[in-house]
Chain A
């Protein structure tokens, strides 16, 4: 109810008020964008790979001759199968959170006119599909008969499984089963739809879904060797993996194990998102610091004003203000200043986001981040002003006559 006279009084402290308004606006803009960035990273972090990560580990070899590939595959399978606790060992070109080895632009027509995006190909030997633990929601899983020889990363023609997100993207509203897509002249027929299967490197921030991947069954050969999928019980996995790697080092001293990629999938996932977690932590730190600086700014200015106006407060009390009236005064004043800051800040947040989008690969700021940030700042303002306002309410009405 006292908004108007409070506004009038604020006019006399225009510069100080505007400085605080600017600080809050800036905080609001940064908080909105940082919040959205953290949320985006958080979503990326929680991506569903679609595979039984807890039971799986990857083993990658390097520095072997392509001529020996067939021999190498056989020796690895034989060696690892002999290790206690191994449920299965199969050949697969890569795994979720492993290296990106085969991605290609696809078209939904033979002439290559309808470009549909870049997808990642998983090429797995028979048995790997089951080992991954993928869920088929329509059509069928691969059979041994589906396996095709691999030339330059992928077969020339094959029956494949794709996640439903990709299916919906390629043929919206249509049944994907029986559909075909092309990579140049190579043809792939969809025979199964998967619940999820993320690409090896999900959440890169591009305009594509984590599930834009294809599972192809291949026949191991010179072009398809050196990368394996180990499955064991989750609690035994670390032990089984190190036993397997030890057995390989002993049985095949001539090959080199690619250590960073020969780890349980949970560890690969951890390592893959290391930078995102660091960034999210950094942003959280910035947000916390910003909130604290803002709160301190409000507390500081309010305390200063309470001290500066002690006499006026006493006079107000003397001519009839209750303690509550005084408390209200500072709360309303704070609401006006923070409200102005937030209003300005939300506009600034959108502007900042648009500017950042020019420089970085960034999503448009979802508007849902704006109201909670604004409300949060208003709440922070009210909390910050509470102590100074309570102190103001305790000023004695006798201050009006006692202090000159």
Chain B
């Protein structure tokens, strides 16, 4: 599904060139739920941005869904973001001027999807995140957990092959965080591939696989069976 080989990303300011990612290789198979952990500044967001085609790498190759996407132009990248990727952000990132319904509608419109189909899908995903009753609410009228569920609905609406989440529970209290995590697990059970960046070891433990990033490089911790068992014992 997602395959990065010897990927590098450097940011060049006037004087220094800092490497956010170095010789970064990772392979995420279809249907996997991968949690990415690591200290602050280690390159987790950078990895997710490149994986989601929000930024370009400065070296190495990136294959998404069997297609080399490292050399694509801006329009093609936009189209792939729209068609294959669903984003969930730490700050929810709903559009404040649009109500819940219109927010979920945004990516579908960019896909030029016919109106009837859009309506059907929006109804379905809002049902799924349990917010059908809030369609006409504006983001400011919702709790953080509700906002994040709208954001998840928006990410799901286009039936993406890959869900990318950057600390999706980072701005939520533990109760709301659990609900959001539960939702992601349900989505994963239905077959979605999920890559989630998190600081929370408990959440990371609930993923199938943990990837630890330090200084822009991957330290694969494998299947983490013990942590997973612990999490189940606690859950």
Contacts and interface: CB of A to CB of B under 8 A. Distances in A.
Interface residues of B, number: 37
A105 to B, nearest CB: 68
A400 B89 contact: yes
Contacts of A8: 97-99, 102
B110 A325 contact: yes
Interface stretch (B62-70, B80-88, B172-180): B80-88
A191 B138 CA distance: 84
A323 B98 CA distance: 20
A398 B49 contact: yes
How many chain A residues sit at the interface, stated as a range, is: 20 to 34
B54 interface: yes
Given A5-B98, A317-B78, A401 B45 contact: yes
B112 interface: yes
Contact of A316 (B52, B99, B106, B155): B106
B81 A12 contact: no
A113 interface: no
Contacts of A316: 95, 106, 110
B78 A312 contact: no
B91 interface: yes
A46 interface: no
B102 A322 contact: no
B201 to A, nearest CB: 22
A320 B160 CA distance: 12
A318 B54 contact: yes
Given A318-B52, A321-B82, 4 more contacts: A9-B102, A312-B96, A398-B55, A401-B89
Interface of B: 45, 48-49, 52-55, 74-75, 78-79, 81-83, 87, 89-91, 93, 95-99, 102, 105-107, 109-112, 138, 154-155, 158, 166
Interface of A: 1-2, 5, 8-9, 12-13, 311-312, 315-325, 396-398, 400-402, 404
- 8 nearest interchain CB pairs? A320-B82, A9-B97, A320-B110, A322-B78, A319-B107, A397-B54, A12-B97, A398-B54
